[in-house]
Amino acid sequence: MEDSHSVQKLNRKLCYCGHITVLKTSWTEDNPGRRFWGCRFYGKVDACDFFDCADPTVHDRYKLVINGQLRKKNEAEKEKEKLSKTLRMYQFFLLRWLFCMLQLG
Ligand SMILES: [Zn+2]
* pTM listed for this prediction: 0.63
| Greatest alpha-carbon span in the chain | 88
Calculate how far, in angstroms, residue 59's C-alpha sits from the geometric centre of ligand 1: 29
CA–CA dist 61, 69 (Å, integer)? 13
Whole-number Cα distances in Å, 12 to 5, 16, 19, 38: 10, 13, 10, 11
Calculate how far, in angstroms, residue 19's C-alpha sits from the geometric centre of ligand 1: 6
Per-residue pLDDT tens, the chain, 105 aa: give them.
445 444 444 567 899 999 999 999 999 999 999 999 999 998 888 899 999 999 999 999 999 999 999 999 999 999 999 999 999 999 999 999 999 999 987
Contact 43, 49 (CB under 8 A): no
Calculate how far, in angstroms, residue 53's C-alpha sits from the geometric centre of ligand 1: 15
Calculate how far, in angstroms, residue 80's C-alpha sits from the geometric centre of ligand 1: 37
Look at residue 48 in the predicted model and tell me its pLDDT: 95
Calculate how far, in angstroms, residue 34's C-alpha sits from the geometric centre of ligand 1: 20
What kind and span of H or E run contains 51? Answer: strand 51-53
Q: Residue 24's beta-bridge partner residues?
A: 36
Calculate how far, in angstroms, residue 89's C-alpha sits from the geometric centre of ligand 1: 46
Query: How many beta carbons lie within 10 A of that of residue 79, not counting itself?
Result: 10
Calculate how far, in angstroms, residue 55's C-alpha sits from the geometric centre of ligand 1: 20
